[in-house]
Structure 1
Amino acid sequence: MKISYTIKILQLKETFSIAYGNYETREALLIELSHLNCKGYGECVAIDYYQIDLKSFISRLKEIQPLLERQSVVHPEEFFRFLSGLDLHPFLISALDCAYWDLFGKLENKSFAELNSIPLENLAQSSITISVGSADEQIKKIEKSKWNKFKVKCKGLNKPDISRLLQLNRDLALDSNASFTDEDCVCLQENIEVQKFSYLEQPRPVDQYKILKKEGFANWMADEDCQNIDSLEELIPYYKSVNIKLMKCGGLTPALGMIAKAKELKYKIMIGCMTESTVGISAACLLAGLTDFADLDGANLISNDYASGNFVENGKIILSGKPGLGIVLK
């Protein structure tokens, strides 16, 4: 097995504004694993609030490249156990794990869904993100869009803006990216109108969630608070829903286990994404048959997508049915 890797610059179609800052581009690390004329692809992106440094990832890949290339082709679960022993960042493990699933499926001539018996009917429909902005700007974008579900970003709680959004009678979620105060959270979870939001995501900074009440009106959804399967038990009293992202948890292999555990614990589950190309989105789309929500608009937000595969069109997730993750570079 051979590995190659390169950094790509993802150009956003418009300034992406969230509580953490404003972004025009994202850096992505593309990984290619190849064997017997088949190529598998995985990706991770540099997210500043996760303190991701892709150059350090490349340095680490150079160190472990001989180990990786000596690996024989085994089942992806066994390959993931090998990766878990290398002391790698979850974002980097995710890119390697997804690339390996793509390669393995192509070698076996079977799709990831087929290999894991994932249902392909009634896929969750994806939301599209509405950046932080004035209520007028956000409402205009929602009303012009052909999508049916929207995740509205906000920075702090502006009650008049929330009231205007709730009057739209559209399928909306709210994502504060940890910008709500304790007082904001109490106000929201005690307001019956908040039930109109499909979920309210990551209201407080990491580990500051104990003001939240699961039995309140708000469907609180954990994002940064829910990093991996070990997070789930502790969050039970506070969150009704969890956002599972491949890069956070370390790829498709741990995501499958995390979804199963979250279902056991009666969480509502979303498969989410960062700003990614179709390489990353193709992998996440294949889990939508197992989740209640999807937020997989990452590739729709960029202007220079460099791959094809599974994709989202106006919220509808469209699977290619091709072997592996179905990824082809353009």
Structure 2
Amino acid sequence: MELRFELKQLHLKETFSIAYGNYNKRDALLIELSHQNCNGFGECVAIDYYQIDFQSFVLKLKEIKPKIEVQKIIHPKDFFKFLLNLNLHPFLLSALDCAYWDLFGKLENKSFIELNQIPSENSVESSITISVASVEDQIKKIEKSGWNKFKVKCKSLNKNDVERLLKLNRNIALDSNASFTDEDCIWLQKNTEVQKFSYLEQPRPIDNYHVLKKESFANWMADEDCQNIDSLDELVPYYKSINIKLMKCGGLTPALEMIKKARELNYKIMIGCMTESTVGISAGCALTGLVDYADLDGANLISNDYATGNFVENGKIILSQKPGLGIELK
């Protein structure tokens, strides 16, 4: 097996504004694993509020390259156990795990969905993200859009804006990226109208969730609070829903385990994404038959997508039906 990697840059179609800051581009790291003329692809991106350092990732890849390249082709779940011994950051672990699932499926001539017996009929629709802006501009974007589901970013709580969004009678979620106060959360979860929002994501900074009440009118969804399977038990009294992102939890293999446990704990589940190319989005799309919500618009927000595979069109998840994750570079 051969390992190759390349630093890329993703350019956004327009400035992406969230509570953490404004972005016009994202750095990406493309991973390629090859064997017998088959190539598998995975990806991670540099997110500043996760303190991602690609230079350390590149040094790590150079260090582990010989160990990976002497590996025989084994089942992806066994390959993941091997990866766990390499002391990898979850983002890098995810890129390697996804690349190996893509490669393994191509070698077996079976899709990830076939290999894991995932239902592929009636997948949930993805939302599209509406950046932080005036509520007037946000409403205009919603009304012009061909999508049916929207995740509206906000920086702090404006009650009038909330009321205006609720009056639209559209499928809207709120994502404050941890910018709400305890008082904001108390007001929201006591407000009967708030149950019209499909969910309210990561209202408070990490580990500041004790004000949240799971049995309130708000469908609180954990994002940064829910990093991996170990988070799930602790969050049960506070969150109805969780956002699983492959880069956070370490890839497709741990995501499958996380989904299984989250179901046992009666969470609603979303597969989410960062700003990613179709390489990353293809992996997320493969799990949509197992979840309640999807937020997989990352590749739709960039102007220089460098891959094809599973994709999202006006919210509809389109599965390629090809082996592995169906990823090919353009």
User: Greater shift after overlay, 91-100 or 47-56?
Assistant: 47-56
Kindly provide the CA deviation profile for residues 125-178 of structure 1, in whole angstroms up to 9, marking residues without a partner as x.
000000000000000000000000000000000011111100000000000000
Kindly provide the CA deviation profile for residues 87-138 of structure 1, in whole angstroms up to 9, marking residues without a partner as x.
1000000000000000000000000000000000110100000000000000
Equivalent residues in 2 for 1:77-156, closer than 5 Å: 77-156=77-156
Kindly provide the CA deviation profile for residues 247-270 of structure 1, in whole angstroms up to 9, marking residues without a partner as x.
000000000000000000000000
RMSD value over aligned CA atoms?
A: 0.4
Distance 1:70 1:208 in 2: 45
Aligned to 2:188: 188
Aligned to 1:302: 302
Distance 1:24 1:326 in 2: 28
Distance 1:226 1:178 in 2: 13
What SS class does the counterpart of residue 260 from structure 1 fall into?
Answer: helix
Aligned to 1:241: 241
Distance 2:54 2:102 in 1: 22
What SS class does the counterpart of residue 221 from structure 2 fall into?
Answer: strand
TM-score when scaled to structure 1? 1.00
Residue 211 of structure 1: how far off its partner (Å): 0.5
Distance 1:288 1:109 in 2: 21
- Do residues 50 (structure 1) and 50 (structure 2) align? yes
Residue 310 of structure 1: how far off its partner (Å): 0.3
Q: Match of 2:45, as an amino acid? A: V
Q: Match of 2:104, as an amino acid? A: F
Aligned to 2:16: 16
Kindly provide the CA deviation profile for residues 44-63 of structure 1, in whole angstroms up to 9, marking residues without a partner as x.
00000000011110110001
What SS class does the counterpart of residue 152 from structure 1 fall into?
Answer: strand
Aligned to 1:256: 256
Aligned to 1:284: 284
Aligned to 2:35: 35
Aligned to 2:174: 174
Residue 245 of structure 1: how far off its partner (Å): 0.5
- Which runs of 5 or more structure 2 residues have no equivalent in the other structure? none
Residue 213 of structure 1: how far off its partner (Å): 0.4
Q: Match of 1:123, as an amino acid? A: S
Q: Match of 2:247, as an amino acid? A: M
Q: Match of 2:136, as an amino acid? A: D
Distance 2:192 2:164 in 1: 15
Distance 1:272 1:124 in 2: 12
Q: Match of 1:182, as an amino acid? A: D
Distance 1:262 1:187 in 2: 27
What SS class does the counterpart of residue 17 from structure 1 fall into?
Answer: strand
Aligned to 1:204: 204
Residue 276 of structure 1: how far off its partner (Å): 0.1
Distance 1:141 1:313 in 2: 17
TM-score when scaled to structure 2? 1.00
Distance 2:55 2:8 in 1: 12
Distance 2:288 2:41 in 1: 19
What SS class does the counterpart of residue 39 from structure 1 fall into?
Answer: strand
What SS class does the counterpart of residue 138 from structure 1 fall into?
Answer: helix
How many residues of Structure 1 are paired with residues of Structure 2 in the alignment? 330
Aligned to 2:311: 311
What SS class does the counterpart of residue 243 from structure 2 fall into?
Answer: strand
Distance 1:224 1:65 in 2: 30
Q: Match of 1:234, as an amino acid? A: E
What SS class does the counterpart of residue 216 from structure 1 fall into?
Answer: coil
Residue 86 of structure 1: how far off its partner (Å): 0.8
Overall identity of the aligned pairs, in %: 77
Distance 1:55 1:34 in 2: 23
Residue 210 of structure 1: how far off its partner (Å): 0.3
Q: Match of 1:177, as an amino acid? A: N
Aligned to 1:6: 6
Q: Match of 2:327, as an amino acid? A: I
Kindly provide the CA deviation profile for residues 167-194 of structure 1, in whole angstroms up to 9, marking residues without a partner as x.
0000000000000000000000000010
